[in-house]
C-alpha cells in the first residue's frame, strides 16, 4: 500500500519518514502522481509555483507578439501569427487547469501574478521593436521553450506531463514559422539581413537566460530533479539549446553576439561567454524594460473580464438550479 502517511488532526496527511520514502519510491519507479494521490506538501507547492509561472508566461507571452498582428507584412504572415498567439493562449489555459488540479484557483494564481508574488518568464519583459523580432522569438524563444518542455512531458505529475505533449507539438510548429521568417529576412535585401542580425543581437542573451540561473545558484533544481519534476538541470538544457542553435545561425549566415562562443572538442559542445546575471535578476525581480506594461495589460484584461466571469458563473448557477429542480420533480 502506497499511502503510509498518518492523518493529522487537521485532516491532512502528516509527512512521516515512511510516507516520504514511499512517495519517493513511487517517483523512482516512474509511476505518475495524479491529483487525488497523497503527495508531500513541498511537491504540491513546487508544482503550483512552476506550473503557475509557466501558465502566466504563456499568457504574458501573447503580448509582445500580439503587438505585431496588425503590422504583419502579408496576409499569410498575419494568419500564422494570429494562430500562434492563439495557441499560446490555449497553452496558458491548459496549464492553469493543470495547476487547478493541485487545489489552487485561477483567481488566486492571477492575483499572485498581479501583485508580484508569482513570476513569469524573464524573456517576455523585452520589447518587440521590429518584424524580425517575431521571427527571432519563434526561432529562439520557442526553440528554448521546446528544449525546456520536451523533458517536462516526462514530469512525474500526470496532468502537467500530459499537457506538455500537446504544447510541445504546437511549439515545434511555432519554432519553424519563426525560423522561416528569419531565413526569409536573412536571404533578403542587405537591410532585411541587418534587421535579422540586429534582432538576434538583442534576443540572444535574454534567450539563454530563460533557462534560469546556473546550477550552483538554482534553489529548486536538486529537489525538483529528485522528484522528477525536472529531468535536466538549467545548465544542461542551456548547453543543449546553444549546441542546437549555433549551426542554425551559421546556416542563416548570422552571427551570434558572443565573441567567446567556441566549439570545445573535449566536452563535445560550445563554450560561451559570461551571462549578465545582474540583468537577469533585475528582470526577474520586476524591473525589466516592459515589466510595468506587461503587468498593467494583464491587470486591465482581468478587470475588464470581471463581468464575463460573473455572467458565466450566474449562467452556471442558473443551469445547476434548473437541473436540481428537474431532479426534485
Instruction: Name the E strands within the chain.
Output: 6-7, 13-14, 262-264, 269-271
List the one residue from 221, 227, 245, 295 that touches ligand BYC (CB under 6 A): 221
Residue 16 CA from chain centroid, whole number: 33
Determine if 166 is a binding residue for ligand BYC (CB under 6 A). Answer: no
Determine if 192 is a binding residue for ligand BYC (CB under 6 A). Answer: no
The alpha carbon torsion through 91, 222, 244, 284 (nearest 10 deg) reads 60
Minimum CB separation from ligand BYC for residue 279, in Å? 12
Residue 183 CA from chain centroid, whole number: 25
Determine if 231 is a binding residue for ligand BYC (CB under 6 A). Answer: no
Question: What is residue 276's DSSP assignment?
Answer: -
Determine if 89 is a binding residue for ligand BYC (CB under 6 A). Answer: no
List the one residue from 145, 168, 252, 290 that touches ligand BYC (CB under 6 A): 145
Determine if 218 is a binding residue for ligand BYC (CB under 6 A). Answer: yes
Among residues 97, 85, 103, 105, which one has the least CA distance to residue 44? 103
Determine if 110 is a binding residue for ligand BYC (CB under 6 A). Answer: no
Minimum CB separation from ligand BYC for residue 138, in Å? 8
**165 with 95: CB under 8 angstroms?**
no
List the one residue from 63, 99, 122, 157 that touches ligand BYC (CB under 6 A): 122
Closer residue to ligand BYC (CB): 108 or 192: 108
How much is the CA Rg of the chain, to the nearest whole Å?
A: 22
- The per-residue DSSP string of 152-168 comes to GGG-SBHHHHHHHHHHH
Determine if 159 is a binding residue for ligand BYC (CB under 6 A). Answer: no
**141 with 203: CB under 8 angstroms?**
yes
- Letters for 282-311 (x = contact with ligand BYC by CB under 6 A, - = none) are --x---------------------------
Closer residue to ligand BYC (CB): 19 or 156: 156
List the one residue from 197, 234, 239, 245 that touches ligand BYC (CB under 6 A): 234
Determine if 178 is a binding residue for ligand BYC (CB under 6 A). Answer: no
Among residues 14, 39, 22, which one has the least CA distance to residue 229? 39
Determine if 156 is a binding residue for ligand BYC (CB under 6 A). Answer: no
Residue 181: which region, alpha, beta or left (left: phi > 0; alpha: psi -120 to 50)?
alpha
Minimum CB separation from ligand BYC for residue 165, in Å? 15
Within residues 48-67, the interface with ligand BYC by CB under 6 A covers: 49-50, 53-54, 57-58, 61
C-alpha cell at 305: 473580464
Distance CA 223, CA 204 (A): 29
Contacts to ligand BYC by CB under 6 A: 49-50, 53-54, 57-58, 61, 88, 119, 121-122, 141-142, 145, 148, 209-213, 218-221, 224, 234, 284
Amino acid at each position: 500500500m502506497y499511502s503510509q502517511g498518518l492523518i493529522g488532526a487537521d485532516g491532512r496527511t502528516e509527512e512521516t519518514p515512511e510516507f516520504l520514502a514511499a512517495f519517493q519510491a513511487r517517483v523512482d519507479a516512474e509511476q505518475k502522481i495524479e491529483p487525488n494521490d497523497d503527495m508531500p506538501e513541498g511537491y504540491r507547492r513546487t508544482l503550483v509555483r512552476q506550473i503557475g509561472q509557466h501558465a502566466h508566461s504563456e499568457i504574458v507571452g501573447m503580448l509582445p507578439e500580439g503587438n505585431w498582428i496588425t503590422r504583419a507584412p502579408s496576409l499569410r504572415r498575419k494568419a500564422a501569427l494570429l494562430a500562434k498567439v492563439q495557441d499560446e493562449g490555449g497553452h496558458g489555459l491548459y496549464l492553469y487547469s493543470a495547476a487547478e488540479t493541485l487545489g489552487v484557483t485561477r483567481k488566486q494564481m492571477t492575483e499572485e501574478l498581479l501583485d508580484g508574488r508569482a513570476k513569469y518568464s524573464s524573456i517576455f519583459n523585452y520589447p518587440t521593436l521590429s518584424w524580425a523580432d517575431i521571427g527571432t522569438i519563434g526561432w529562439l524563444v520557442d526553440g528554448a521553450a521546446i528544449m525546456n518542455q520536451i523533458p517536462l512531458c516526462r514530469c512525474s505529475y500526470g496532468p502537467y506531463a500530459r499537457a506538455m505533449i500537446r504544447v510541445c507539438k504546437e511549439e515545434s510548429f511555432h519554432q519553424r514559422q519563426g525560423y522561416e521568417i528569419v531565413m526569409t529576412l536573412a536571404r533578403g535585401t542587405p537591410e532585411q539581413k541587418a534587421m535579422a542580425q540586429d534582432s538576434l543581437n538583442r534576443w540572444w542573451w535574454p534567450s539563454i537566460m530563460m533557462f534560469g540561473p546556473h546550477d550552483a545558484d538554482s534553489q529548486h533544481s536538486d529537489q525538483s530533479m529528485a522528484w522528477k519534476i525536472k529531468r535536466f538541470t538549467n545548465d544542461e538544457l542551456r548547453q543543449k539549446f546553444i549546441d542546437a542553435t549555433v549551426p542554425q545561425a551559421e546556416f542563416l549566415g548570422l552571427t551570434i553576439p558572443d565573441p567567446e562562443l567556441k566549439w570545445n572538442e573535449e566536452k563535445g559542445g560550445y563554450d560561451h561567454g559570461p551571462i549578465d546575471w545582474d540583468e537577469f535578476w533585475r528582470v526577474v525581480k520586476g524591473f525589466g524594460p516592459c515589466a510595468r506594461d506587461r503587468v498593467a495589460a494583464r491587470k486591465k484584461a482581468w478587470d475588464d473580464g470581471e463581468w464575463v466571469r460573473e455572467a458565466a458563473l450566474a449562467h452556471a448557477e442558473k443551469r445547476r438550479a434548473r437541473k436540481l429542480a428537474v431532479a426534485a420533480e
